[in-house]
Structure 1
């Protein structure tokens, strides 16, 4: 009886130890040979590392294509607005042209009614030279008015031709950007589909282990960044607008990442940051690359909550800094808006929207 209790206790301790070892991040262990009925054994960590590297590349390429799609989308919006403005100018010009033509027609009819007799002839033929002189002054004024009318008529016609030419050019640009959007959209979907297919080939335990590897890689990068002592040099205080931007981003936590989305139910990385600053009353460019190119750069040690951290050499990812070495970001497809370490990815630089 006593031996039975000891056996049960020993077995319990063994199970607890096994669970502890298996749950420890990065712990290597020897996998037993599977029986015919057992589920497939996860591949070694080094194989999953290759999978993780492949997934990182696929999602990175998807992010680059998403930025291209967003840029084309913004350009189509701008060009559509310009075409509408040009159409309004053309309409106004046509109305003005019709008015000028009516005036010119009225002048021509008046000239026909008076016989088109020059002032000098009217003076010689009239019994009242004084009246003719008065009439001559009016005719001179009429001639000047007619000349001005014809000049305005010509100018209006030229403006209409210019507006029509500009509208044609904008239509060509709009068509080109629509094609660019279609190409970028196809590429985004191809990368995401490939990533999802790769992940679908993994067993449950492999996916869990892959998640652990991703977390470990992010934690190591964040730890290495913090070990530089960077936080001791960062003392920036958020501006009033920066606080509003951070508050907006905080309210979006848990919402899904959807490429090309800018709220309110889902976001991509730059969709989140651009909407956060729009909510703060300070609109900024839509894409991470434009944010990097157009906003003021500041040193990492000088950043403050509300600033945007741009990641990777091609500026393909962006997040909003919230202080204490943390960011809020929309990471990638399959993830939600979340808090992460500011140094968990390769930092390209920091930009300040309200500099």
Structure 2
């Protein structure tokens, strides 16, 4: 009679069978784990377009230039503060010597009194831990001779002056430390931005680099067209000015009041044009030299370092940073620009170039580039000044 008992589950008794089963189980678990991780993993971010990379790189270069101007300002401030500290320390040393002379004179009186067996007020002053306590006891001062009183007064004045100078020197040293900290921070910021830009560019393929170069050419072409349009309008304005001047002369109505200025300030009978010509000659001689942040020449420049050096060659002293240079001279409209005028860029006024006419300028562009001529419309214009 057939048995109705449930068949017994077969046990894998052999070592090989157990290993095979374990291997299958592990593989199954691994597959489940991988499937689970794949399902839960965040989708990979899409690769940025070359246009986005270009915008990011341009932004980083702009940020680096802003940090460069902060570096220039901090460096200038630190230099000025160092001079102040040195001057104060020299003055404090001289004051200390005068105080020591007064102390030695007091010592002479104290020694004389000590030898005669007394301890007069002068000796008490020399031995006092706190000279101010001595001065507060006016009845002691009444017992001093005329010369001793003068010696005490001299010492008191020298000691007070020395204390003031030490306090001032301490404050100046603290300001110097702040300037040096700011200088270090700005330098690190510049280096960080430039490093990030280089890394972005280094990851581009050859095809992407070619596309980037094409975008740059398109940008330059657009800026060139705007410069040509400005040059056309300026030429028309000049022809109209000359026509009007000739008509006034022919009509006999000319009163000699025209100064030939195209707006934004007088040329002072050509004196500005003469200075501008010297500044531009210097700037042209620097074409081809590399941009280096924080540099003021003669082998390399940053943007404000170039304009400062160029106008210095014309006998005009400009401040170091773009933020200070924009405050010098007379503001002029873009349509009224004359050669030599300074054109500033971006809302934060972090870049500057020197106008040469026909909508173009000479400037030190950015890291990796060289001093060159370029359309003023290559960057967004903030405003312009006539510096002399």
TM-score normalised according to structure 2 size: 0.65
Distance 1:269 1:328 in 2: 10
Aligned partners of 1:297 and 1:349 also within 8 Å: no
Distance 1:245 1:75 in 2: 26
Q: Which moved more, 1:144-153 or 1:105-114?
A: 105-114
| Aligned twin of 1:338 | 372
Aligned partners of 2:99 and 2:158 also within 8 Å: yes
Structure 1, unaligned runs of 5 or more: 1-45, 117-141
Residue 267 (1) aligns with residue 301 (2): yes
Distance 2:202 2:279 in 1: 37
| Aligned twin of 1:65 | 67
Residue 307 (1) aligns with residue 341 (2): yes
Shift of the 150–324 alpha-carbon distance from structure 1 to 2, 3 Å rule, reads farther
Residue 349 (1) aligns with residue 383 (2): yes
How much does 1:267 deviate?
1.2
Shift of the 280–155 alpha-carbon distance from structure 1 to 2, 3 Å rule, reads farther
Distance 2:181 2:69 in 1: 15
Alignment match of 2:91 (pick from 89, 113, 116): 89
Structure 2, unaligned runs of 5 or more: 1-47, 119-143, 239-261
Alignment match of 2:328 (pick from 280, 290, 295): 295
Aligned partners of 1:260 and 1:271 also within 8 Å: yes
Q: Deviations over 1:315-343 (max 9, x none)?
A: 01011222332211110011001111123
Residue 220 (1) aligns with residue 222 (2): yes
Aligned partners of 1:218 and 1:345 also within 8 Å: no
Distance 1:276 1:323 in 2: 16
How much does 1:283 deviate?
2.4
User: Comparing both chains, which one has the higher relative contact order based on Cα–Cα distances under 8 Å and sequence gaps of 6 or more?
Assistant: 1
How much does 1:227 deviate?
2.9
Count of aligned positions:
283
How much does 1:344 deviate?
2.4
How much does 1:271 deviate?
1.5
Distance 1:65 1:239 in 2: 33
Distance 2:174 2:233 in 1: 49
How much does 1:70 deviate?
1.4
TM-score normalised according to structure 1 size: 0.70
Shift of the 297–150 alpha-carbon distance from structure 1 to 2, 3 Å rule, reads farther
